[in-house]
Amino acid sequence: MAKKDRTGNRKKRGQHIKERIPEMGYYLVVTDTEATERCYFNGLHDNLPESMKSKLVIKVVETNTKNLIEKCKEMMAYDAQYRIPWIVFDRDKVPNFDQIIKDAEKADIQVGWSNPCFEIWMFGYSENVPAIQESKTCCKKFGELYKKKTGQKYSKSDKDMYQKLIKFGDEEKALTQAKQKYQQSKRNGNTIPSQMCPCTTVHELVEEISLKSKRGS
């Protein structure tokens, strides 16, 4: 039975959905990590101007790598008309990395991938992105940089991760470096994500949110 509104009239089907649609978008970010991306994107949202926090929503959902696309589709089944779907994941040792990206794009799901890992994106906040090919080495080197800049040990589950990145680094620099690395890889003839290293497309999502925030605040 349909619920009544404050005037006593029955609400039309879907009316309750329209009332809570964020003006600047509802970003659904599905990732395959236990903490890193969740802490980063939650921090990004927390850092938005107060006037924007209810206008631009970022919901992070975690699942395993093989279910990224299906989980995204499942979450999109609810209020699909205004959710903006993304999957965010690393090359690391994922054997079907390129295929997941292709399948997501076919399903109209945008992809923020990193090769070799998410830390290659975060490197850009404070230092030139290094030519690292292996995920374990990348995390170790980023941990050393993080300790040098913040005086604290790097933790993938640090809820203040984003705040520290923008305090001790420069997001515009990170965006610029990510774009340059991506274009450089393409100029070198590498257009397959698994062959584009070090490289990331996370900057596309971060920049889109940043631009919307600036326009709406």
Could you report the per-residue pLDDT of 31-51, keeping only the tens digit for each?
998 799 999 999 999 999 998
**pLDDT at position 86:** 97
Model confidence, pTM? 0.87
Secondary structure (3-state) at 46: helix
Q: Parallel, antiparallel, or unpaired for β 199-200 and 110-115?
A: antiparallel
In this structure, is residue 162 part of a structural domain? Answer: yes
**pLDDT at position 17:** 41
In this structure, is residue 16 part of a structural domain? Answer: no
In this structure, is residue 8 part of a structural domain? Answer: no
In this structure, is residue 89 part of a structural domain? Answer: yes
Question: Could you give the number of structural domains in the chain?
Answer: 1
In this structure, is residue 6 part of a structural domain? Answer: no
Cα-only R_g, the chain: 19
Could you report the per-residue pLDDT of 117-165, keeping only the tens digit for each?
999 999 999 989 999 999 999 999 999 999 999 999 999 999 999 999 9
In this structure, is residue 1 part of a structural domain? Answer: no
Which runs of consecutive H residues, i.e. helices, occur in the chain?
Answer: 15-19, 36-46, 68-76, 97-106, 119-123, 135-150, 161-168, 171-187, 202-216
In this structure, is residue 58 part of a structural domain? Answer: yes
Percent helix / strand / coil, the chain, rounded to 5: 50, 15, 35
In this structure, is residue 4 part of a structural domain? Answer: no
- Residues with Cβ < 8 Å from 209, sequence gap 6 or more? 27, 44, 56, 58
Q: Count Cα atoms within 13 angstroms, Cβ side, for 143.
A: 13
Residue 23 CB: number of other CB atoms within 10 A?
A: 10
Range of the domain at 157: 23-216
Return d(Cα 176, Cα 182) in angstroms, integer: 10
